């Protein structure tokens, strides 16, 4: 018959109050090899620029502008229209600026981008 409760592992404290556990008997997995190893996060600056990232950045910048201008006072309709125009201007400007700096970084590293995972 199956056991009803989960079996508890034994942890025993020593005189200093430290808890000692039984060690594992298998080999330790190294971080560089095997399936359990963690990958290094890729440098975000080495990803090619996208229109989506430029649009999101433009939305954030224009949103901050709209909120600040509404707090300072002014016609809400004109401020929102200005915010929409700013999104339209910031998006291509941000994309082409990102692309310029991305290409410059790639050229500095030797001409080939790193793997695109």
CA gap 56, 37 in Å, rounded? 33
Tokens of 85: 């125009």
| pTM flag (> 0.75) | no
Contact call for residues 69 and 79 (beta carbons, < 8 A): yes
Query: What are the helix and strand counts (H, E) for the chain?
Result: 2, 2
Which tens digit of pLDDT belongs to each residue from 20-54?
Answer: 666 666 666 655 555 555 677 777 778 899 999 99
| Domain coordinates in residue numbering, the chain | 46-110
Mean pLDDT of all residues in 54-69: 96
76-112 pLDDT, tens digit per residue, is 999 999 999 999 999 999 999 999 999 999 998 887 6
């Amino acid at each position: 018959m199956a056991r009803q409760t989960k079996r508890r592992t034994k942890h025993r404290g020593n005189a200093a109050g430290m808890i000692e556990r039984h060690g594992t008997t298998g080999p330790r997995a190294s971080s560089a090899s095997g399936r359990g190893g963690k990958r290094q996060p890729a440098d975000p600056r080495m990803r090619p620029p996208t229109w989506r990232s430029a649009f999101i950045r433009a939305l954030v910048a224009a949103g901050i502008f709209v909120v600040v201008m509404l707090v300072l006072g002014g016609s809400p309709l004109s401020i929102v229209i200005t915010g929409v125009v700013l999104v339209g201007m910031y998006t291509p400007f941000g994309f082409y600026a990102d692309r310029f700096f991305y290409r410059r970084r790639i050229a500095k590293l030797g001409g080939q981008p790193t793997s695109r995972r």
